[in-house]
Chain A
């Protein structure tokens, strides 16, 4: 799995020169991932049963999905602060508008679409409004957070019981969380050989060269934010389903965590290097740290210091390894 995660899409297709920078981050990520996984397993050997693995993935999956959203934007050299806002809108919609009524489950199909639209609005601000990504998504984050709070002023609501039971199931032949993770990675596996994905890498690594090679920069950037909105919404839906309820305030913690996960995974903030697999690994690294500190009953500051220290360590090692961060 680690070898697969370390892969970068280096296939050359088409006429535009696709440059893939050496992803020094993956070199740091793989040992880090292995050490933390090993520590976690040694500390609690019974984690290796199927339900426990499924439960670990279930805990990590909302962060994984948000990190994927962040990762796709980072690949173009942008950033999306509003993922937290999009996520809570999806969460509260799932807990109220979709709700517990049996007749309204079809509405769940529309929630990802809402995420896509919110993401597209970010994309429009960046591409048409010429806003800096940080500022554009900072503004929409406040707006989306407000909308979520308007829909559900205080924590509550109920998700469809059948769907929640399905999402929380860890004893199936293939547990739901495992299924969703594999499905997500499979989608990425397919998607990364599409034209759009190669355009994303070429825009991220050298915008001028991409433009000269005929890549539609505006369309690519717009799509990236829309897709990020989609994935943030999926994270929100999943979070609502596994908790069975909605809360308009849980999104803020995921904004910087998603960036952290991407960096720990080895994605460059300057764009063009890394991939969704690395973001998933980074999200797992953060989950392992939390798992280890809670098993050892360490005080909460250990987990904070550990993840912050690792962040600086990883970025330092990477710049030493690649002479560029």
Chain B
């Protein structure tokens, strides 16, 4: 045996390891990989057309705009995977910005406290969404549209009462325009939270439950999952991330107004769909949404560079959304993406392992009893 193998692996080894990791990740989340490939392709096309597109400052700007889309869509990704929909996102963004400047003017407390308060209020609004969806058992599209309308009404009322120029706190303006090393703060916040969201989805019990509920709420309930609580949690998270997006957007554009979140109503859903998350629920991933946000942002930056007018930009934008979603679904079918049924099995395994008796046969129909029998048999 050779002594003293150099402690540092050679660059080639590192490259191979990264390559292997990428292939592994791509196999596990083919739609995400597809969206990233699409992003890189669009980026290369833009750079080929004008070299300035790849300049550091432009990439930085793009990454900030991707962060806004990504944050707006982050919580909603969880909502959609759990089989819901949150159309109140644009008004939550408006709320985040306007509440921030209102509190800055009205309350004399420190900025971190204001931020905490605004995001907490956003979570409360998300909780209202969640409560109405679970209690009323009403279609989430309508409930969140209604709650969005109520928020808009409140913001318009507040705006007409105090129409003088709202001041954005200096601290948040500085934060939104600052960067750590080469990376803008906003982008780092987004990516850090994306890691958290991905961790929740793939490594925690809540994440497993979210997939199981979205795939088949009935089966999830029979397996002992509190379907309502899981759905409720996703709306609360969505309220938090959308409001945070609003706060950061306000800091970046240095103003707040009703309607500033308007572009994110369908933009967030388009990013989620491009990342391979089906609106039916049960499949998808947080990284997919990150990739989808990148695709949309590069696309939005690329089209004007090509000299297209607003009209052509819209047409191409729509066409790419359709093509991208089609592409995402195609690679997912080939690669066999994560499935909710798989998540449900994992939850059941976890519960059996923790000695929790999920199967209460007294409250179940024939299907549930046969399921319980099956799990009893397979458990032996």
Contacts and interface: CB of A to CB of B under 8 A. Distances in A.
Please indicate whether A and B come from the same complex rather than being unrelated chains: yes
Contacts of A302: 153
B149 interface: yes
Contacts of A325: 136-139
A131 B278 contact: no
A149 B311 contact: yes
A129 interface: yes
Contacts of A144: 318
Contacts of A79: 141
B153 A304 contact: yes
Given A140-B318, A146-B317, A153 B311 contact: yes
B268 to A, nearest CB: 11
A140 B319 CA distance: 7
B269 interface: yes
A45 interface: no
A31 to B, nearest CB: 19
B371 interface: no
A259 B160 CA distance: 28
B315 interface: yes
Interface stretch (B283-291, B321-329, B356-364): B321-329
A304 B138 contact: no
Interface string B274-296: 00001110000000000000000
Given A305-B150, A311-B149, A312-B147, A142 B315 contact: yes
Contact of B322 (A131, A260, A305, A324): A131
Interface residues of B, number: 44
A41 B142 CA distance: 29
A106 interface: no
A141 B280 contact: no
A194 B256 CA distance: 53
Given A256-B145, A259-B141, A305-B153, A131 B326 contact: yes
Interface string B114-144: 0000000000000000001000111101110
Interface in A76-132: 79, 81, 125, 129-132
Given A131-B326, A153-B309, A308-B153, A138 B143 contact: no
A319 B149 contact: no
Nearest to B159: A301
Interface residues of A, number: 47
Contacts of A299: 156-157, 160
A14 interface: no
A250 to B, nearest CB: 15
Interface string A244-268: 0000000000001001100100000
B149 A315 contact: no
A301 B266 contact: no
A263 B142 CA distance: 8
Contacts of B273: 132, 135, 138
Contacts of A319: 136-138
B312 to A, nearest CB: 7
Nearest to A81: B266
Contact of B315 (A125, A150, A311): A150
A148 B148 CA distance: 28
A316 interface: yes
B202 to A, nearest CB: 24
A197 interface: no
Interface in A298-318: 299-302, 304-305, 307-309, 311-312, 315-316, 318
A149 B314 contact: yes
A200 interface: no
Nearest to B152: A304
Contact of B311 (A138, A141, A150, A301): A150
Contacts of B318: 138-146
Contacts of B278: 132
Nearest to B325: A135
Nearest to A148: B311
A292 interface: no
Contacts of A166: none
Contacts of A40: none
Interface string A216-239: 000000000000000000000000
Given A131-B322, A146-B313, A305-B153, A311 B142 contact: yes
A183 interface: no
A289 B160 CA distance: 20
A147 interface: yes
A136 interface: yes
A256 B273 CA distance: 20
Most interface-central of A81, A148, A256 (chain B CB within 10 A):
A256
Contacts of B315: 142-143, 146-147, 150
A269 interface: yes
Interface of A: 79, 81, 125, 129-132, 134-136, 138-150, 153, 256, 259-260, 263, 269-270, 299-302, 304-305, 307-309, 311-312, 315-316, 318-319, 324-325
Given A260-B145, A302-B153, A311-B142, 16 more contacts: A135-B279, A138-B269, A139-B270, A143-B315, A143-B318, A146-B311, A146-B313, A146-B318, A256-B87, A269-B139, A269-B141, A299-B160, A312-B147, A315-B146, A324-B137, A325-B137
9 contacts: A131-B322, A145-B318, A146-B316, A148-B311, A149-B314, A153-B309, A153-B311, A301-B160, A325-B138
